[in-house]
Amino acid sequence: MNENKYNYFLDIHCHYEEINPLYLKQKLKENKIISLTASTNIQTYENLEKIRLKNIPNLYFAYGLHPDNVIKKEINDNLKDLEKIDFSKSIAIGEIGLDYKITKNKQKKEEQKKIFEKQLEFAKKLKKPVIIHTRYATKPVLEILSSWTDLKIILHWFGGNETEIDKALSKNYYLTQRFAFPEIKNIKKHFDKIFIETDFPVSYNGENTNIESVIKSYEKFCEKYDIDLTQIKKRTIQNFEKLFKIKL
Ligand SMILES: [Zn+2]
C-alpha cells in the first residue's frame, strides 16, 4: 500500500458474496476501505472464491460455515462441505459459532456445537484467527472457548452483558463494534482489542447497510465514546496487522 494506511477504514466483518467484483473494487477504492468478507455456507464460499480470484486490493477472506446454515443440513453434509473449503485461501475461519435464536431444538444445537468445534480445530491447526457469531448464545460460546486457550478470537457484534464483555476482554478476545454496539466500558483501555464492522448486508435498526456503511460505523463509534476518528482508524489498522500478521 503506497499511501498512508492509517487513512483507511477497516471493515472487519461483512458479507460481499453477492456483489459484482468490479463494483466492489471501485467502492473499496473510492471510499478507502479495507475489508474482511466472511462466508456463511458452501455457496457463499464458492462465490467469494470467484471474487478472490479477481485480486481486489485491500480485500481479505474468512471462510467457514455459519450456525444458521449449519442447522439447515444434516451433520454429515456439513462435514462434507467443510472438506470442500480451502481454508488456506482465507486469513481467518469465519463466520462460525452458535445461534440459539434460530433453533431451540436440542439435537440441532448439539450439531451446531459439533460443527463449531470442528472449525475451531481447523483454526488451531492452521493457526488462523476465528470470527465468531454468538446470537442468544453468549454463555455457551464463552464456555466452549474457555477450553481453546491458544486461539485468536474475534467476537463479532458480541451481545454479552457487562460481565461477559469483561470476561471476553480479560481473555484477550477481540470485540467488534457495529455502529458502536455493544457498549464497552473504559473503551480507551481496550483499544488494542477493538475492531469496527458493518455485517453488511445485514440491516441495522431497520436501516439498510451498504459497503461504505463502515464509515458511518466509525463515526458512530467516535461520537458515542468521544474519540478522535484518526486515533481509532490508526488503532484498528494496527490491531489488524498484529492479529493477522499482515503488513498493509
Ligand atoms: Zn455476519
In a domain, 2, yes or no: no
In a domain, 1, yes or no: no
Termini Cα distance of the chain: 6
Contacts of 225 (CB under 8 A, 6+ apart): 180, 187, 188
Query: How many A from CA of 152 to the centre of ligand 1?
Result: 18
DSSP lists the bridge partners of residue 99 as none
Number of domains composing the chain: 1
Query: How many A from CA of 199 to the centre of ligand 1?
Result: 5
Query: How many A from CA of 18 to the centre of ligand 1?
Result: 14
Output the pTM of the full model: 0.97
pLDDT at 2: 57
Which residue in the block uniquely carries the three cell numbers 458511518?
216
Query: How many A from CA of 197 to the centre of ligand 1?
Result: 9
pLDDT at 144: 98
Which residue in the block uniquely carries the three cell numbers 474482511?
36
Query: What residue numbers bound the domain in which 201 lies?
Result: 7-244
Query: How many A from CA of 221 to the centre of ligand 1?
Result: 19
pLDDT tens-place values along the chain, 248 residues long: 757 999 999 999 999 999 999 999 999 999 999 999 999 999 999 999 999 999 999 999 999 999 999 999 999 999 999 999 999 999 999 999 999 999 999 999 999 999 999 999 999 999 999 999 999 999 999 999 999 999 999 999 999 999 999 999 999 999 999 999 999 999 999 999 999 999 999 999 899 999 999 999 999 999 999 999 999 999 999 999 999 999 99
In a domain, 124, yes or no: yes
CATH code of the domain in which 91 resides: 3.20.20.140
In a domain, 203, yes or no: yes
Query: How many A from CA of 2 to the centre of ligand 1?
Result: 30
Query: How many A from CA of 40 to the centre of ligand 1?
Result: 8
